[in-house]
Structure 1
Amino acid sequence: MPKPSVLLILEGTYPFNGGGVSTWAHHLCNKVGNIDFKLYSINASFEKETKYKLSSNISEVIQVPLWTPDEPYDYISYGEEYYKTVAKKEWTTDAVVEQKFIPLFKSLLEFIYSEDQQIEDLDIIFHQLWFYFEDYDFKETMRNKHVWLTYRDILARFIIGERNPDASLIDITVGLRWIYRFLIPLAIVNIPRVDIAHLTLSGFPLIPALIANYKYGTKIMLTEHGVFIRERLLAINKSEYPYFLKSLLIRFSEAIARLAYYKSDVIISVTTFNQKWEKWYGADPKKFKVIYNGIDPEVFKPGPKPSHLKNVPTVVALARVFELKDILTMIRSCAVVKNTIPNVQYMVYGDDTAVPDYTRECLQLIKELGLQDNFKFMGPRNNPQEIFLEGDISILTSISEGFPYTVIESMSCGIPVVSTDVGGVKEALDESCGFTCKPKDAEEIGSYVAKLLLDEDLRKNMGESAREKVLNNFTLNKFIREYEDVYKDMMKAEGSKAKLTKIKDFN
């Protein structure tokens, strides 16, 4: 009897990039028994090598690069016969695009900009878009003049004019380019037949799950780490995009998030914090389940501090250097601590090359505050269980998180944590294990860091409590057992939306 099969759908993470979601996925694929995993990995560019050694539980990796100069199928074969690829281009005539695609494209744009949306209609639109791209070429379709004319006319009707006088031609062109890139997974119609499509965010990676659902009746399962729509709104708010592009991105992202919640048979959160956002965007609480991230306490365990750091008050962080981790606030907190503890050392382990402009801003702030001897970027490492032991405490200054691994990894090592109160941090980190602070409050963060560094007994007591809390609540065995149970239950249950109940005429 064949194993149950799961298409694990990821974006910008496993198996080509690191981070918390990648750690989660690696644990899942390595430890969950009797499952045949197939990875659908959406990335910005084409990746040649995986960052992780893949488990024998993974039988296939499908990579879809979204933002390359060429199309994904120019880099990768997706198993479609050559004759059909050529035929689809030839069949995609002006008349076909105008008669068959434009009514669907028009309906999609109208849905995005409508104030009266029925999510069932968006499901039907995507079903018919998939059906169209089964026979016709994505690139030839989207580059057709009728697509631009329709897009222009819809924008003129809904948003250009008094409500948005500053929409420029380049803004409008960029908007269509975004739509083109977000919809690229519709071009990859050769999805493997699987029992479950497991999403790792409620965003545009929903599209391959929809195709599997429409094509095979595959059930859809969502694990929400950081809430996609919340983090998208935070990023847009900080961006310098003009109003038109912000509005398009928000509206399209909100529509996709709502569709992801509607189509998912089970919605798993890594923290209860996520659920208020999910309910806000229409998710049915009957689908909800919380499964906390888990770690191996035999790997992350207490140990001695390295001898070269024994008399140095040390703060460690495992964090990719980019805006959501708010490293600028971490740097400012170091300046606060230095006022009391002049030889304090902050050591940040993680990729500091991914967002060069942000790293430069951080380095400039370090120089301005005179912290060159106190705050150091150490680059990425593959031994987090040893990194935590370098610190007297660990720190997290993010403005958004799901249920961060770094918190429970540090706790398991007996190292107390000072963290911003974001996502599900407080579900792991209580007053017996460390301190939580308001995001962006460098003074409060710095005061708690100094308090812990100056009080050895407090650090020791908090470290012991932190270790105990992990052993009781956040072990890898518990995490794996709960996912195995969900997969088994989904295999037994009927999919709630495996088939559409109506077909709509968009002509």
Structure 2
Amino acid sequence: MKICLIAEGSYPYITGGVSSWIHAIVNQMPEHEFIIFAIGASRSQKGQFKYKLPANVKEVKEMFLDSYLEEEGIWGKRFRLTDVQKQSLQALLGEKLDMDWSGLFDMLRSPKFRNAADFLTSKDFFDLLEELCAKHYPLVPFTEMFWTVRSMILPLLLTIREDIPEADMYHSVSTGYAGVVGSLAKHLYNKPFILTEHGIYSREREEEIIKADWVKGYFKDLWIEYFYRLSSCAYEAADQVVTLFRRNKEIQIELGCDAGKIDIIPNGVNVDDYMSIRAQTTDGKLRIGAIIRVVPIKDIKTMLQSFAVIKRELPETEFYVMGPYEEDKQYYEECLQLQAALELKDVHFTGAVRILDYMGMMDLFMLTSISEGQPLAILEGMAGAKPFVATNVGSCKELLSGMDDGLGEAGLIAPVMHYEKLAMAAIQLGKDRQLREKMGRNAYERVKRFYRQEDVIKNYRRLYQKVGGEQ
């Protein structure tokens, strides 16, 4: 079977998390051929793969969301939109109306448009925008509304006009633009479409937009509703939706996904890979690690503030932030500046490393994310029999506390962005080696029973056969 895996902002440009999951799926299913449809943020990423692609990857199709910067349209044309087309575009811009994605796909891929920008410089679009301004934004200058909406939807229009490789099945690993591509492929080729959500994409975008300086306050709702619309496209089109844990399934249903479509397949790790890394250091120092990308959603700044509190109480502590920092260099520089302002010593930003080489040194791990799905970082630490301090996001509490499995706690949970409570939890574990070892044993046993990589592959192999049939 030829499967097109559609990934946004991850594989093969970024390591860890969803990218590691994709790489494992492809590597461990040699009986299938894969096409990678990679959606990147910037054209500067072109060809900059962080993974050696397995032999069964037959093609990598790259597209970049900043390509809209090259688009120029012809001003003032009229394309005679139908009432249904107008309604779908109004829904895309936030109106509470039904949306015909199939009709929108056909319209925007029509040869009557030279490129995506032609529509955004048409009289039809101006009419829609004038109506939107008059109804919802009467005090906002029209030019400001025009350039805001243009930057919002032009990447989507470019995505819809992209060439889609033919395959036997399409599998998007998020909603958003990846979900739209999967929905479009199903529309074009009438092939099965699977959606896997690791985190809830629309909720994550909402959190980012609420805090973003680049979106003015009166446009935040417009952007947020736009991303929820993209998610609804994938939920509607998908033949099967997979999520990682029960709470995510509940959120998907709240957002309009048909409950009958949803399966739960947890993440997993190869437990045997971690058998040899349990040795503790004996130099008297406490070492706290974080398996994490240095990006805002992981909230490294709160982690550094918690480190400063821990260091005052346990001055012999060392901290290791293990993960790539090239993805958002500005944020990384801000983290270094915060570290300097806190006069915080013994923090090591290692960059991307082989985690197994460091894990035996660590006494405990931390995760301070403001949003997560089911973090592979926690599963990796648990497989190494290490306790965790984590924020109460995604399935972190479920992983560390279990679901009435009788195994006991594998770590401590603290509120999001509460550096003092995160620090107090780490200090509690740092002062009690017996507690750390007990929680580490619980962690290892939970992963061994419920979160094994071979089960992930077995479940997806079965799902591919069920949805795609024998090819």
- Using structure 1 for the length normalisation, give the TM-score: 0.84
Deviation digits for residues 433-463 of structure 1, max 9, x if unmatched?
A: 1111111111211111111111111111111
The equivalent of 2:248 in structure 1 is 274
Deviation digits for residues 329-379 of structure 1, max 9, x if unmatched?
A: 1112112212321121111112223323322332232223221x1333222
CA distance in 2, matches of 1:200, 1:6: 13
3-state SS in 2 of match to 1:173:
helix
- Residue 351 of structure 2 is aligned to residue 379 of structure 1: yes
Say which of 138, 142, 147 aligns to 1:173: 147
What letter matches 1:451 in structure 2? Q
Match runs of 1:61-460 below 5 Å: 61-68=60-67, 98-99=78-79, 106-113=86-93, 115-119=95-99, 121-130=100-109, 132=110, 135-136=111-112, 138-139=114-115, 142-143=117-118, 146-147=121-122, 149-160=123-134, 163-167=137-141, 169-189=143-163, 191-240=164-213, 241-305=215-279, 310-371=283-344, 373-381=345-353, 383-430=354-401, 431-460=408-437
CA 487–145 in structure 1, closer or farther in 2 if over 3 Å, else same: closer
3-state SS in 2 of match to 1:419:
strand
Q: CA deviation at 1:492?
A: 3.7
Q: Is the 8 A contact 2:88 2:98 kept in 1?
A: no
What letter matches 1:483 in structure 2? Y
The equivalent of 1:49 in structure 2 is 48
Q: Is the 8 A contact 1:197 1:220 kept in 2?
A: yes
Deviation digits for residues 17-76 of structure 1, max 9, x if unmatched?
A: 21301000001001124222111001122312321111122111111122147769xxxx
CA 145–357 in structure 1, closer or farther in 2 if over 3 Å, else same: closer
What letter matches 1:43 in structure 2? G
CA distance in 2, matches of 1:356, 1:469: 36
Q: CA deviation at 1:151?
A: 2.8
3-state SS in 2 of match to 1:54:
coil
The equivalent of 1:485 in structure 2 is 462
> 354-363 vs 266-275, which deviates more?
354-363
CA distance in 2, matches of 1:164, 1:268: 42
Q: Is the 8 A contact 2:94 2:222 kept in 1?
A: no
3-state SS in 2 of match to 1:48:
coil
3-state SS in 2 of match to 1:55:
coil
Q: Is the 8 A contact 1:323 1:358 kept in 2?
A: yes
Q: CA deviation at 1:8?
A: 0.5
Q: Is the 8 A contact 1:292 1:474 kept in 2?
A: yes
> 235-244 vs 409-418, which deviates more?
235-244
CA distance in 2, matches of 1:257, 1:317: 31
CA distance in 1, matches of 2:59, 2:376: 27
RMSD of aligned residue pairs (Cα, Å): 2.6
CA distance in 2, matches of 1:144, 1:459: 60
CA 187–415 in structure 1, closer or farther in 2 if over 3 Å, else same: same
Q: CA deviation at 1:236?
A: 0.5
3-state SS in 2 of match to 1:143:
helix
Deviation digits for residues 146-181 of structure 1, max 9, x if unmatched?
A: 52x333332221234774523462452142133112
Runs of 4+ more than 6 Å apart: 92-95, 101-105
Q: CA deviation at 1:15?
A: 1.4
CA distance in 2, matches of 1:150, 1:136: 14
CA distance in 2, matches of 1:273, 1:386: 34
3-state SS in 2 of match to 1:183:
helix
- Using structure 2 for the length normalisation, give the TM-score: 0.90
Q: CA deviation at 1:137?
A: 5.0
CA distance in 2, matches of 1:492, 1:437: 45
CA distance in 2, matches of 1:492, 1:16: 31
Deviation digits for residues 221-279 of structure 1, max 9, x if unmatched?
A: 10001111000100000012114542332222111111211111111002222122211
Q: Is the 8 A contact 1:226 1:403 kept in 2?
A: yes
CA distance in 2, matches of 1:337, 1:463: 20
Say which of 2, 7, 10 aligns to 2:7: 10
CA distance in 2, matches of 1:217, 1:325: 38
> 317-326 vs 350-359, which deviates more?
350-359
> 340-349 vs 362-371, which deviates more?
362-371
What letter matches 2:271 in structure 1? P
CA 473–24 in structure 1, closer or farther in 2 if over 3 Å, else same: same
CA distance in 2, matches of 1:230, 1:27: 26
CA 172–491 in structure 1, closer or farther in 2 if over 3 Å, else same: same
Unmatched 5+ residue regions in structure 1?
73-88, 494-507
Query: What percentage of aligned pairs have identical amino acids?
Result: 27
CA distance in 2, matches of 1:197, 1:125: 20
Q: Is the 8 A contact 1:417 1:434 kept in 2?
A: yes
- Residue 59 of structure 2 is aligned to residue 60 of structure 1: yes
CA distance in 1, matches of 2:399, 2:59: 35
What letter matches 1:354 in structure 2? E
The equivalent of 1:85 in structure 2 is none
The equivalent of 2:450 in structure 1 is 473
Say how many residue pairs are matched. 461
What letter matches 1:363 in structure 2? L
